Amino acid sequence: MYTIDTSSFFHFFQTLWSLATGAMRLDPAAFTAMDTSGTGLLAATILFLAGVSEALGQSVVLLANRVKPGRFVLSLLLNGILFIVSAFIWGATIWGIATLVYHTHEPFTGVMKSVALSYAPLLFSFLTLLPYMGTFINRLLSVWSFLAVLVALEATMSLNIWQALVCAIFGFVFLLVLKYTLGRPFIALEHWIRRATAGVSSTVEVKDLVEKITEQIVENPKGGKS
């Protein structure tokens, strides 16, 4: 059983962690509890923290280029907000497909909260900063989160696994189509914001930066001129 208690700051994050770990275990009861919690703040917080964690996973790029603390924090905040927007669109698409095709009657807010909870594995996205293992970890977390979405849809919308798979895949495809058509101005804005806050090009390879930093430390450990 999951107890939803948001009466205090401590209880809020205790509840958040309990639901997040339940989602990571792919426990249907966690998604049901989130669906009936009556508050969207828990869902928004998970999405925001997942976005921040993803940005931390890319933070080696920022740190290697000596980004100012203010810009670094702003980059984390913006990534968290972008995560929320992206998840909202995906959740809305899933809800629309399930309602039109499978005639479900689940309220949109319930579906949105369940989809948000499925992002719980991405709370560990900061681990992608590990050299050479980052790509593997990123793919693993993405698959884990996608499986959580399927469990969420089965638990809260009474869909079978194939129906949940259709909704999730088509929802994701629609999100990509929207992103690369109508969303092009927003992509350009996003890239501009990232460059402005990070002060670096988005094409910089993290691995190359790590190797460069390592070489500098080994060859010149005291920071003096060679």
- Written as six digits, the tokens of 96 are 């629309």
> Against a cut of 0.85, is the pTM above it?
no
Find, among 150, 126, 102, 133, the residue nearest to 50 by Cα: 126
Checking if the pLDDT of 217 tops 70, the result is: no
Domain spans in the chain, listed from the N-terminal domain onward: 9-219
Q: What is the pLDDT of residue 143?
A: 93
Find, among 32, 42, 56, the residue nearest to 12 by Cα: 42
* Candidate ranges 1-5, 76-80, 98-102, 185-189; pick with highest mean pLDDT: 98-102
Average pLDDT over residues 215-223: 49
Find, among 209, 83, 183, the residue nearest to 201 by Cα: 209
Q: How far apart are CA 81 and CA 71, in angstroms?
A: 15
Q: Which of 91-100, 159-168, 200-209 has the lowest mean pLDDT?
A: 200-209
